[in-house]
Amino acid sequence: MADWQQHTPQPGQQAERRPEASEHELAARIVEVTAGGGAVRVRVDGRGRIRHLAIEPAAFEQRDAELLADLILGATAEAQRRAAELSPGADRPAGSPLPGDR
């Protein structure tokens, strides 16, 4: 077998590497969403995993626990929805901007 043939990846080998790179790229992307006028801030990576949650001290004032919980859940759900749009298989029209790229 010629040298170039030994170093040429087989069809299945190259396809295996693409999802890994894609997963790494998704992990590196960050989506941030705020709720309650900025009182709650959630950051998730491109895979939808929560990476940061910040609650301003003012969020505890003049709000009950149930409302604060709703703000956190709403911001988290929206951030995860936007992160799902980043994945290669997401239904997004070709050429449309990614969330956060606007």
Q: How many CB atoms sit inside 10 A of residue 1's CB?
A: 6
CATH architecture of 26-86: 2-Layer Sandwich (3.30)
Contact 33, 69 (CB under 8 A): no
Q: What is the mean pLDDT of the chain?
A: 76
pLDDT, tens only, 4-54: 444 445 555 554 445 555 878 888 899 999 999 999 999 999 989 999 999
Distance, in Å, from the CA atom of 92 to the CA atom of 87, rounded to the nearest integer, reads 10
Q: DSSP label at 96?
A: P
Q: Phi/psi at 51 (nearest 5 deg)?
A: -110, -20
Distance, in Å, from the CA atom of 38 to the CA atom of 40, rounded to the nearest integer, reads 5
Q: DSSP label at 90?
A: S
**Is the pTM above the cut of 0.75?**
no
Q: Phi/psi at 64 (nearest 5 deg)?
A: -90, 165
